[in-house]
Amino acid sequence: MKQVKVGIIGFGTVGTGTAKIILSQRELIKKRTGIELILKKVADKDIKRPREISLSEGVLIPDAWKIINDPEIDVVVELVGGIHPAKEFIIEALKKGKHVVTANKALLAEEGNEIFSIAKEKGLQVGFEASVGGGIPIIKVMREGLVANKMLAIYGIINGTTNFILTKMTNEGIDFQDALRQAQELGYAEADPTLDIEGIDSSHKITILASLAYGIPLSFKKTYCEGITKITAQDIAFAREFGYKIKLLAITKILNGEIELRVHPTMIPEDYLIAKVDGVFNAIYVEGDSVGATLYYGRGAGSMPTGSAVVADIVDIAKGTNSLPLDFSEKYSIKPIEEIESMYYFRFTALDRPGVLSKISGVFGQHNISIASVIQKGRSKAGAVPLVILTHKAKEKDVLEALEKIDKLPVVAAKSVFIRVEGQET
């Protein structure tokens, strides 16, 4: 395919970036690859709103189905987001024999098995580089660059909004609500920030990466998902005292043939490279059995970075590179969160009385939880002080049971807080 006719559905942030790149880099891409990209149609319900670029007369249309039904269009780019009608657009485009490129992580994580199986049946390609890590070519790296590796673990900062918020909280000592407000003012968080701050967006993305890593079907429903709304400036400060930073990590690893798949605030040693990824930037740490530790860093969102990934997919499809169907048929079991082992950080709100530490550590002992370090500070007029404990590796099930008991102790004045800790055990 030397000349590729492209139709874009959705002329928002990413659609605009994609259109811009197709138009402005046409000569560069042709020189590099021999492939000429033609932007034939762009569909958006709103064809009036002024955008950063103007398209030639007749290119912008209000009806997406005109793109899907246009026999001349080779590749349909779905950039409307959400499940419906994005799913219908994609499936119908495949049925019409068109290749598809999408940035829609929610759709792929939740309905991707159906979409990929239709594509496979039809011998068509679905490019989704832009669905994880924005402009970072992480999908290509995993599918092709590291093709010779069994994947051992992935740790990703794959949501810029929450990383921006946590970075603000860390650097300025402010609370979650203040940091969220700043993120909203700067356009890094949506008016309704739920998908980001509750970890759902990260869960969508790690679902996709886990399927690439281990060949398992897309398993969004089995992904454990916990957001950052309960993280306090106090916990960030205590983490720092122990030499840790708090990041929203999306984690998937394989241990003894079982897969962990989880998103939650995580304490990581501050001298790890990924702990230094700040602001809206994303980074994905990938460990393969041959290559060892690798990391990929860049802008995880935005018009032009995400457009860069979309256009790379279109070029690959034109070259026939993506042509191998994805086979997500491996049958590993995914551990429920209660079954994982981790190190833990606890913050107890304890009455300032003798014997508190002994009572709490007694419960820990009963549940096979071994203490690594303790911070207990000053006296409080109010009578309650924070008691902070780091543990060695323990089972989450044991932790939850211990916490239930501890929270009922008369010396414990408020619901206890815990954060999972990654890194070398000390």
- Shortest Å, Cβ 83 to a copy of itself: 28
Q: Could you say which residues in the range 5-24 bind a copy of itself, by CB under 8 A? A: 17, 21
Which of residues 150 and 221 has its CB atom nearest to a copy of itself in the complex?
150
Q: Tell whether residue 13 is among the known ligand binding residues.
A: yes
Which of residues 10 and 305 has its CB atom nearest to a copy of itself in the complex?
305
List active site positions. Answer: 205
Which of residues 56 and 290 has its CB atom nearest to a copy of itself in the complex?
290
- Shortest Å, Cβ 32 to a copy of itself: 6
Q: Give the bridge partners for 36, in sequence order.
A: 3
Are the C-beta atoms of residues 203 and 104 closer than 8 Å to each other?
no
Say what the alpha-carbon torsion angle 136, 138, 140, 144 is, to the nearest 10 degrees: 140
Q: Tell whether residue 412 is among the known ligand binding residues.
A: no
CA dist 267 and 229 (Å) reads: 15
For 3-22, b where at least 16 C-beta lie within 10 A, e where not — what string? ebbbbbbbbebbbbbbbbbb
- Shortest Å, Cβ 400 to a copy of itself: 36
SS3 295: strand
Considering only residues 82, 97, 320, 383, which one is a binding residue for a copy of itself as defined by CB under 8 A?
320
Are the C-beta atoms of residues 260 and 134 closer than 8 Å to each other?
no
Residue reference for tokens 């079907």: 217
Q: List the end-to-end C-alpha distance of the chain, in Å, as a whole number.
A: 56
Cβ neighbours, 10 Å, residue 365: 12
Give me the 215-254 binding string for a copy of itself, x by CB under 8 A, dash otherwise: x---------------------------------------
Give me the 113-142 binding string for a copy of itself, x by CB under 8 A, dash otherwise: ----------------x-----xxx--xx-
Are the C-beta atoms of residues 312 and 321 closer than 8 Å to each other?
no
Task: Name the segment binding a copy of itself (CB under 8 A); options: 25-33, 46-54, 59-67, 115-123.
Answer: 25-33
Considering only residues 92, 153, 174, 296, which one is a binding residue for a copy of itself as defined by CB under 8 A?
296
CA dist 163 and 145 (Å) reads: 27
Q: Could you tell me which residues are annotated as the binding site?
A: 9-16, 105, 190
Q: Could you tell me which residues are annotated as the binding site for NADP(+)?
A: 9-16
